[in-house]
Chains A and B, each alone.
Chain A
Amino acid sequence: MDTKTLLEWSAKYHTPNYGARAPIVLVRGEGVRVWDSDGREYLDFGAGIAVTSLGHCHPRVTGAIQEAAATLLHVSNLYHSAPQIHLAKLLIEHSFADRVFFSNSGAEANEAALKLARKYARERISSDRFEFVSTRQLVPRAHLRDGRGHRPGEVPPRLRAAGAGLQARRPTTTCARWSARSTIAPPP
């Protein structure tokens, strides 16, 4: 498949949320380098978006993928699995934390964090505690996202539209670049 056709199909079939992507199709990576479908080489100083910290196709990562793919891909959380337990232990041993919950993405991790915080506050401190304070462009990630660069004082549109009782209230700029308050309404 030639690059031109792929780019045409990409523009035709995807939802438009990523805007005008860079007009290249990446096909291979190794270490700090990636190659496009026309064979051009690039230094990857984005690493995804700060994702591929060990570089592309790191042998230990590739080895783990190959081994896991040939051993056991998926079981539900109704059961235990050794890699999950080892990873949990390693994270706990190297951080402030005592417990870990695994999700599929950062958006889901933040969703779990916000849910846990509200639940903890309501059950252990006070039923009036349901608000979150954040800094501009921070809570905005997927589920609670307002996109980039809303103006100070504006009600972030996607916070307003996020449904489920989510509403922006009294957005402030009191903390310079670190401000904008959004709240999640108390349950009915």
Chain B
Amino acid sequence: MERAIDNRTAAVIIECIQGEGGVNIGEEDYLRGLRKLCDQSGALLIIDEIQTGVARTGRLWSYEHYGIEPDIMTLAKALANGVPIGAMLTREEIASVLIAGTHGSTFGGTPFITSVALATLTTILDGKLWERAAKMGRYLMDGLRTIQASTPAIRAVRGKGLLIGAELSGPVGPVVDACREAGLLVLSAGERVLRLTPPLIVEERDCDRALGIIKTALGHA
């Protein structure tokens, strides 16, 4: 990254925790170093919080785990709990170049969408649901590690809050199918990572049932 950023770089865009890329967790040194590289070179740091933001990883925004702040942050997914929305946030100085007429959206931020987002975000803030995400994430990862101890089918378990990946020793497709057939919907990330992103309101008994199904699915895959 040090060699990639130079005086032609307008911005660096990253996720602190890669979702689609395999639930790869950015290391603190790496992300702090990246912030420093951007500051030194004058490049802006854009943090994509589309999957990680709004309490999913155990903090309201994933950058909070790392003691850094972006120059620009992007949001979507959970912000309105299923109604389509995106948001781009930035600092005053940077925003000032978006003078009238330089950008816009017909549907962006309509009363309907923003009412739903407001209800969603208020509920998340009132309930401090990032704390719940952190707690349930630990519970689920502990359960996955217990399964890992009993089978070579899981190579590694990683995650933050309720963005969790289990790296498998074989292809994830058949495991996703077996889980679904047993009554559990799960995601994949790449060819070998089983990805779990349950709602933040998930209960321990839901996790216990899901873990049971995953264990069985791994046995059959």
* Min CB gap A50→B, angstroms: 4
In this complex, what residue of A is CB-closest to B200? A53
Confirm or deny: B216 has a beta carbon within 8 angstroms of a beta carbon on chain A.
no
Which of A4-12, A111-119, A159-167 touches B? A111-119
In this complex, what residue of A is CB-closest to B51? A50
Confirm or deny: B191 has a beta carbon within 8 angstroms of a beta carbon on chain A.
yes
Residues of A within 8 A of B50 (CB): 106, 109-110, 141
In this complex, what residue of B is CB-closest to A107? B86
Contact in complex: B112, A95 (CB < 8 Å): no
Contact in complex: A132, B13 (CB < 8 Å): yes
| B: number of interface residues (CB 8 Å) | 108
Contact in complex: A96, B184 (CB < 8 Å): no
Considering only residues 96-153 of chain A, those with a C-beta below 8 Å from chain B are: 96-110, 112-126, 128-139, 141, 148-149
Interface string of A66-102 (1 = CB under 8 A from B): 0111011111110001111011101110111111111
Whether A73 touches B110, Cβ cut-off 8 Å, given contacts A86-B118, A97-B90, A178-B14, is yes
Whether A175 touches B97, Cβ cut-off 8 Å, given contacts A53-B55, A72-B112, A135-B21, is no
Residues of A within 8 A of B108 (CB): 77, 101-104, 108
Interface string of A35-63 (1 = CB under 8 A from B): 00000111111111111111110101101
Contact in complex: A119, B77 (CB < 8 Å): no
Confirm or deny: A27 has a beta carbon within 8 angstroms of a beta carbon on chain B.
no
List 19 A-B residue pairs with CB atoms under 8 Å apart, sorted by A's residue number: A45-B197, A49-B51, A50-B56, A53-B56, A60-B119, A83-B111, A90-B121, A97-B91, A98-B95, A99-B89, A105-B76, A106-B76, A106-B86, A108-B105, A121-B42, A128-B7, A135-B14, A148-B190, A175-B1
Binding site for A on B (CB under 8 A): 1, 3-5, 7-15, 18-21, 24, 26, 30, 42-44, 46, 48, 50-51, 54-56, 60-61, 63, 69-78, 80-92, 94-95, 97-98, 102-125, 129, 163, 177, 180, 183-187, 190-191, 195-203, 206, 209-210, 213
